[in-house]
């Protein structure tokens, strides 16, 4: 894995309102990205690996759409962080309430702004793309840098009844 170091992998007990989900699910995986060639592809691969593990080891449903969109969101957020912020980037993937939470931290405190739609603009559509495909997004300043958290449903209909 060029430029990626898996740092943390823990279990977390989910709240009772998620009774349809197994008692314990992988809470998070944190990946440090150093900007080396291939690290964006490695971040996408880590996302796929994490979601595949969620499916296989814990039996949580992950739609093909969620797998693809998870990798897309990671790619867009990590690309922007590496492009605009000096220093390292942290990617954290977490399962919470039938959602994949994708969290990207970087060293630049400047909060991103989605630009007005412009079909003639080349590039700089990443945040617009992310906002169009996720169920929620939060951007906040940290004591050092900023953190962007995007939430993506694990399966196509987040209201569907899943029985185990």
Q: The tokens of 31 are what?
A: 């990946």
pLDDT tens readout for residues 20-34: 444 454 468 999 998
Q: How far apart are CA 8 and CA 30, in angstroms?
A: 5
Q: Is the pLDDT of residue 18 over 80?
A: no
pLDDT at position 59, please?
A: 83
Q: Does pLDDT of 43 surpass 90? A: yes
* 3-state secondary structure (DSSP) of residue 62: coil
- How many other CB atoms are found less than 10 A from the CB of residue 153? 20
Report residue 90 as tokens: 């942290």
Q: CA end-to-end span of the chain, whole Å? A: 35
pTM, entire model: 0.78
């Amino acid at each position: 894995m060029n430029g990626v170091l898996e740092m943390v992998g823990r279990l977390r007990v989910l709240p009772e309102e998620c009774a349809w989900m197994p008692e314990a699910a992988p809470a998070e995986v944190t990946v440090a990205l150093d900007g080396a060639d291939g690290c964006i592809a490695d971040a996408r691969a880590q996302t796929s690996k994490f979601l595949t593990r969620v499916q296989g080891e814990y039996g949580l449903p992950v739609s093909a759409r969620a797998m693809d969109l998870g990798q897309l969101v990671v790619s867009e957020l990590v690309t922007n962080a590496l492009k605009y912020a000096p220093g390292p980037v942290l990617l954290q993937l977490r399962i919470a309430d039938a959602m994949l939470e994708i969290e990207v931290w970087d060293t630049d405190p400047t909060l991103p702004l989605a630009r007005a739609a412009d079909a003639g603009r080349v590039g700089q559509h990443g945040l617009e793309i992310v906002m169009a495909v996720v169920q929620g997004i939060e951007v906040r300043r940290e004591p050092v840098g900023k953190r962007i958290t995007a939430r993506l449903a694990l399966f196509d209909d987040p209201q569907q009844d899943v029985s185990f």
